A and B are shown apart, each in its own frame.
Chain A
Amino acid sequence: MIEAKLKENNEGVLAQNNQMPVDKKAKSSNPSKVYWKVFKTSPLGISGLVILVLIIFAAIAAPILAPYDPLTQNITQRVQGISAEHWLGTDAYGRDILSRIIFGAQTSLTVGLLSVLASGVIGTAIGIFAGYKGGKFDEILMRIIESIMSIPMLLLGLMLLVALGSNMTTLVTALSIGLVPSCARIARGPALEIKESEYVKAAIASGASSFRIMVVHILPNIMGSLLVVVTLNMASAIRIEASLSFLGIGIQPPTPTWGNMIKDSLSYLTTAPSLAIFPGLALMITVIAFNLIGDTIRDASDPYIIRKRG
């Protein structure tokens, strides 16, 4: 009787054990999946992403999307308000504002992307190299970086554009130089820390060269924070480009940019404020979108926030 009961008990335990989940396959912690998970749960991040996708789409499909040619002037229809033909009205030369804003997105994104890419690559390389090599290299490189940092980006842009002439290449160069310090400083810190780690020593002990350690071990470890900086840099690049164009030394008319559109609207600010408001809105929304995305990526690289959101 007792034996039977014991047996029953044992079987019960066994059955229970069998139902236990058999060591689920280790959960994949692929970083891109983590990012996506955080984005999914963040309404702000998602809206930033949606806006960005729309802007990129508008920029790429500008020739198809824009109802009018952005450069065609029509003096008879100058400074008009919102209407069925011109959704956002026309400017002082009778050009369609909506079309100009859509084409302006091309300029803004191109300038932003190029300068962010260039500064990202150069800045990261400098930062990692300075941090890893240390000593004299570090001292010299970081003093150069600091001296660049001490010049406001707008001023740097002004100087270079005035000295070398206003064109796209100079503009991108100026912005790239201005953005290098942020990337270099972000890259240097972790490089300093990681080069002391045991796994770097182990990598050296297994025959890895300095270059390999910088690229294979250090770079991926700073990708997260670098992505945040690069996204936020994109916002500043677009903002500075607009400021320079607004000052009349950035991208030259007639090429539409949001900055020079706002500048052109200045004389009509009291009579037709829509001329300034719409490109201003476009600029604002774009900058906010990049900031929202940057913030969300930062959250995604913060383990505490990930844990809190489950």
Chain B
Amino acid sequence: MVLDVKNLSVGLGTKDNQKLILNQVNFSVKRGETVAIVGESGCGKSMTALTVMGLLPEPVVSLVSGEILLQGKNLTNLSQKEMNKVRGKDVAMIFQEPMTTLNPSFTIGNQLGEIFKIHSNLNSEEIRKKCIEMLTKVKIPDPEAKLKVYPHQLSGGMRQRVVIAMALACNPKVIIADEPTTALDVTIQAQILDLLVELQTQFNTTVILITHDLGVVAETCQRAIVMYAGQVVEEGSVEELFEHPQHPYTKGLMDSIPRLGDARGKLHVIKGSVPDMDAMPQGCRFNPRCEVATDICRKEAPELEITSDGRRVRCWHKL
């Protein structure tokens, strides 16, 4: 296991008035694996990523309990200074918006070189060579000239390539990609995903892909973790999840994918919306929206059960 997240709980607000936005999140990721974390907006998937990176906007949001083990090392115990050494080197992050993740007032070479300046002792000539090498790896044409270019002179896809190059620069063990293709158009999206998968195999990096695009999940990931209202509700291999979802929420997500051919009629939706943190329903958090909910669902919260190898579901009425 490269990354082991154990009983992670994250709270919003001060100690006396704290609301858990992540509730006992558990998952682990193997080396070289691509795992998706899926769920609708507000389910806590981005928060999970920020927690792993140690980037929670404290004191508004803070870690309540849990461990994040990166190759056995607990990241939650590290000081800011020690965490700075981990970030970028062992865990890197790709953000959603390539337009804003790059500093507009610096050249690409400058920003890419920053990573090496922070994490290595290379001199400026070696850094330059490394930068060119990284830009070549992410397939940016004419990398040497691109070093002198400012972010606004590049297209969105090219910028995201630069961001990926920055994430990969120090060959991190884990890359967390928070909706890396959401801001790009579909053709570029496919290119970027291909690139990500290719580089992942090349570097043997672990990728945690955070997305709400199930198409992307099917295309790139081996395993997926479905989150709902701050909890993991189902986990399994992508094939299993797509073929036989066991949680009604996962099933609802799968049914909501528009398919070619059945264009007539209304699209399937999961009724209602994610419950408010203040008004979390009693029992199973999904029960008000669930089609198969019964009395037990409204009274008692189900546990996350292991149903088969690598498969976990949190439901009273597994499908």
Q: Is B36 an interface residue (CB 8 A)?
A: no
Q: How far is the CA of A247 from the CA of B106 in the complex (A)?
A: 48
Instruction: Name the residue on A nearest B178 (C-beta).
Output: A205
Q: Is A29 an interface residue (CB 8 A)?
A: yes
Q: Is B314 an interface residue (CB 8 A)?
A: no
Q: Is A61 an interface residue (CB 8 A)?
A: no
Q: Is A199 an interface residue (CB 8 A)?
A: yes
Among the listed B85, B92, B100, B153, which residue makes an inter-chain contact with A205, where contact means beta carbons less than 8 Å apart?
B92
Report the interface size for chain B: residues with CB under 8 A from the other chain.
Answer: 34
Q: Is A254 an interface residue (CB 8 A)?
A: no
Q: Is B279 an interface residue (CB 8 A)?
A: no
Could you list 7 examples of A-B contacts with CB < 8 Å?
A: A199-B101, A201-B95, A202-B93, A206-B166, A208-B118, A210-B80, A220-B105
**B103 touching A199 by the CB < 8 A rule?**
yes
Instruction: Name the residue on B nearest A28 (C-beta).
Output: B148
Q: Max chain B CB contacts within 10 Å: which of A29, A203, A207, A208?
A: A207
Q: Is A217 an interface residue (CB 8 A)?
A: yes
Across the interface, which residues of A come within 8 angstroms of B100, CB to CB?
197-199
Across the interface, which residues of A come within 8 angstroms of B81, CB to CB?
209
Q: Is A221 an interface residue (CB 8 A)?
A: yes
**A209 touching B105 by the CB < 8 A rule?**
no
**Closest beta carbon of chain A to B121's beta carbon, Å:** 14
Q: How far is the CA of A174 from the CA of B72 in the complex (A)?
A: 57
Kindly identify, within residues 19 to 35 of chain A, every residue whose CB is under 8 Å from any CB belonging to chain B: 25-26, 28-29
A13-55 Cβ-contact flags toward B at 8 Å (1 or 0):
0000000000001101100000000000000000000000000
**A221 touching B114 by the CB < 8 A rule?**
no
Q: Which 9 A-B pairs have the closest CB atoms?
A: A207-B88, A206-B88, A198-B100, A205-B93, A207-B87, A202-B101, A199-B103, A26-B153, A198-B101
Q: Is B84 an interface residue (CB 8 A)?
A: yes
Interface residue ranges, B against A (CB under 8 Å): 53, 55, 80-81, 84-89, 92-93, 95, 97, 100-106, 114-115, 118-119, 145, 148-150, 153, 163, 166-167, 169
Instruction: Name the residue on A nearest B149 (C-beta).
Output: A26
Across the interface, which residues of A come within 8 angstroms of B80, CB to CB?
210
**A25 touching B114 by the CB < 8 A rule?**
no
Q: How far is the CA of A4 from the CA of B106 in the complex (A)?
A: 53
Q: How far is the CA of A199 from the CA of B95 in the complex (A)?
A: 9
Q: How far is the CA of A25 from the CA of B97 in the complex (A)?
A: 26
**B163 touching A204 by the CB < 8 A rule?**
no
**A202 touching B163 by the CB < 8 A rule?**
yes
Q: Contacts A26-B153, A217-B103 given: A201-B55 contact, CB under 8 Å? A: yes
**B103 touching A209 by the CB < 8 A rule?**
no
Across the interface, which residues of B come within 8 angstroms of A133, CB to CB?
none
**B118 touching A212 by the CB < 8 A rule?**
yes
**Closest beta carbon of chain B to A303's beta carbon, Å:** 11
Among the listed B105, B118, B145, B149, which residue makes an inter-chain contact with A206, where contact means beta carbons less than 8 Å apart?
B118
Across the interface, which residues of A come within 8 angstroms of B163, CB to CB?
202
Q: How far is the CA of A205 from the CA of B175 in the complex (A)?
A: 11
**B114 touching A208 by the CB < 8 A rule?**
yes
Across the interface, which residues of B come within 8 angstroms of A217, CB to CB?
103
Q: How far is the CA of A129 from the CA of B106 in the complex (A)?
A: 21
Q: Contacts A26-B149, A198-B95, A209-B84 given: A204-B55 contact, CB under 8 Å? A: yes
Q: Is A281 an interface residue (CB 8 A)?
A: no
Q: Contacts A199-B103, A220-B105 given: A205-B84 contact, CB under 8 Å? A: no
Across the interface, which residues of A come within 8 angstroms of B114, CB to CB?
203, 206, 208, 216
A113-140 Cβ-contact flags toward B at 8 Å (1 or 0):
0000000000000000000000000000
Across the interface, which residues of A come within 8 angstroms of B88, CB to CB?
205-208
Across the interface, which residues of B come within 8 angstroms of A207, CB to CB?
84-89, 115, 118-119
Across the interface, which residues of B come within 8 angstroms of A201, CB to CB?
55, 95, 101
**A205 touching B53 by the CB < 8 A rule?**
yes
**Closest beta carbon of chain A to B88's beta carbon, Å:** 3
A183-222 Cβ-contact flags toward B at 8 Å (1 or 0):
0000000000000011101111111111010001100110
**B97 touching A198 by the CB < 8 A rule?**
yes
Q: Contacts A202-B101, A217-B103, A220-B105 given: A208-B93 contact, CB under 8 Å? A: no
**Closest beta carbon of chain B to A205's beta carbon, Å:** 4
Across the interface, which residues of B come within 8 angstroms of A197, CB to CB?
100
**Closest beta carbon of chain B to A233's beta carbon, Å:** 23
